Amino acid sequence: MKTKLSTIITTVILFFLTAAASAQTNFSGTWKRNNEKTDAGGLSINSVVSTMQITQDSNTLTIKGTNKNSNGEELSSYTDVLKLDGTPSERITNANQKKQMSVKWSVDKKQLTQSSIYKDEQRNVVQTVKLTFNLSEDGKMLRVLDERNFDEKSFQLQDVFDKQ
């Protein structure tokens, strides 16, 4: 009886430890750019989205981004649907470029890195972007390390968003 109870307790403990180890950060929410904390890395602040609506389930991460000017007028918007298993997805951008994207979780599943390649109509790579998402412990601030390469130049931005 003691052996059976011990086996059951051990199984339950291992189940919860495995579930906790595989838990991934959930980035869902409405996020607004914090202009004071964002460092656009020498680019216009408008190159960083103004707001993001992120919806995450067990299979996908959907990011609806909007850019607005200082008057609050919408400049552009997009929707990226990313497969959390790391398989690539793609969409056509507003500039008629093919954007190929994939994501990868950090080992501890607290960070998510999105890698994107933009190609023109002749299939030439015109831009690469790597976004690394980090959520604050209290879940109220989202930091995105934004590394971009285009026009033979590299830019590193620190995008900061507050949860709405």
Q: What is the mean pLDDT of each run of 10 residues along the chain (164 residues)?
A: 55 43 84 95 87 96 91 89 96 94 96 97 96 96 97 95 98
CB 11 within 8 A of CB 125: no
pLDDT given at position 148: 96
Q: Tokens representing 52?
A: 């993001």
pTM higher than 0.85 for the full model?
A: no
Name all domains of the chain by residue range, CATH numbers in brackets. Answer: 2-163 (2.40.128.20)
pLDDT given at position 3: 62
pLDDT given at position 47: 81
Backbone angles phi, psi at 10, to 5 degrees: -60, -40
CB 66 within 8 A of CB 54: no
